[in-house]
Amino acid sequence: MKCFNRDLKNLTGPVASVLLVTLASLVVAASAYGIEGGPVVDVSTLMNNPSFENGLQPIAPGNQVGCPMGWTCGGSPAPGGTAYMVMPAQYMLGMDGLMGGLIVPDGMHAGQCPTLVAGSCQLYQLGLGKYAAGMTYMLNLWVGTPLTVPNCGTAPQCVSDVTPAGKVARVTFYWLGNGNGQLQATNIPVPAPGQWLLVPLRFTPAGNQVGQPINILIFASTGAGHEIINFDIAPPM
C-alpha cells in the first residue's frame, strides 16, 4: 500500500484525477455496505418466506386462520399470527409512509399480529444458521398499523383504535440463540393508523453468542381494546 501511495503522488493530470476519484468511490462503497466495520449478513436471505408472500399453513383444529408458511406461530387466540393480502382499506396510497404508490413494503401480503383483534402473538424463524465472529446481522423490518382490521367487517372493533386502551401495547424484536434464549431485544414503536415504519435491526454477536443458532422472534400484544399490527420484511434499499 505504501508503494501504491508513492506512485499516486508521482502521477499528475487526468490519470491521477481518475484514480483518486475511483479510490474515493471505493471507500464510500465499502462504508455503505458494511465492509469497513466488518461483513454484514442480511438475515432475510436466510429466511423462508420473509415477506409473507407464500400463503398460509393448513388451519389447525379449533383455529380460524393458518400460520404463515415458513414461520412458527404462538400466542392467543391461536395460532397467534397469520398473513393476508393488504387492500387499500388498510393503507391509503401515497399517505402511508411508502414511496412509489405502495401499500405494502414488499410484495402484496403482510404478517398480522395478533390473529384476530385482541391478544398476543409470536412469530418465529428458527435455525437460520449459526452466528459467526466478526459478522453483523441485519434485518429491515417494516411495522404497520392498518386503518381497518382485515376480514372483520364494519363493527366498531374493526376500525383502528388509537386510544391507550385500544392500541397495540407492545412490539418487540428478539435475536435468539441456544434454546431460544434472548441475546438482544429491540422495543419497536407502534405507527399511527394507516402508516408503515421502517425499523433497521442490527446485531453483532460477541463472546459465547458466537456459534449459537440464528433464531429470530417478533412479539406483539394488545391492550384491553381491539387492534392488530402488520409486519413485512424487505431487502435493503
Query: Is the pLDDT reported for residue 179 higher than 90?
Result: yes
**Residue 161 CB partners (closer than 8 Å, separation 6+):** 167, 225, 226, 227
Q: Crossing angle for the helix pair 13-32 and 2-10, nearest 10 degrees? A: 140
* Cα distance between residue 154 and residue 152, in whole Å: 7
The domain limits of the chain are 2-32, 40-233
Which of these, 126, 114, 125, 215, lies nearest to 170 by C-alpha position? 114
Query: If pLDDT is split at 50, 70 and 90, which confidence band does 44 have?
Result: very high
Query: Is the pLDDT reported for residue 3 higher than 90?
Result: no
Query: If pLDDT is split at 50, 70 and 90, which confidence band does 225 have?
Result: low
pLDDT reported for residue 93: 87
For the stretch 112-122, what's the b/e string if a residue is b when 16 or more beta carbons lie within 10 angstroms of its beta carbon?
bbbbbbbbbbb
Which of these, 135, 117, 84, lies nearest to 222 by C-alpha position? 117
For residues 88 and 146, the answer to whether their CB atoms sit within 8 Å is no
pLDDT > 90: what percent of the chain? 58
The CATH code belonging to domain 40-233 is: 2.60.120.260
For residues 163 and 216, the answer to whether their CB atoms sit within 8 Å is no
Query: Is the pLDDT reported for residue 13 higher than 60?
Result: no
- Candidate from 23-37, 72-86, 131-145 with smallest mean pLDDT: 23-37
Query: Is the pLDDT reported for residue 157 higher than 90?
Result: no
CA-angle at 150, arms to 147 and 155, nearest 5°: 75
**Considering the entire predicted model, what is its pTM?**
0.81
Query: If pLDDT is split at 50, 70 and 90, which confidence band does 76 have?
Result: very high
What type of residue sits at position 138?
M
* Cα distance between residue 132 and residue 221, in whole Å: 32
Strand partners, 197: 143
What type of residue sits at position 232?
D
180-213 residue pLDDT tens:
999 999 999 989 888 999 999 999 999 999 999 9
Query: If pLDDT is split at 50, 70 and 90, which confidence band does 154 have?
Result: low
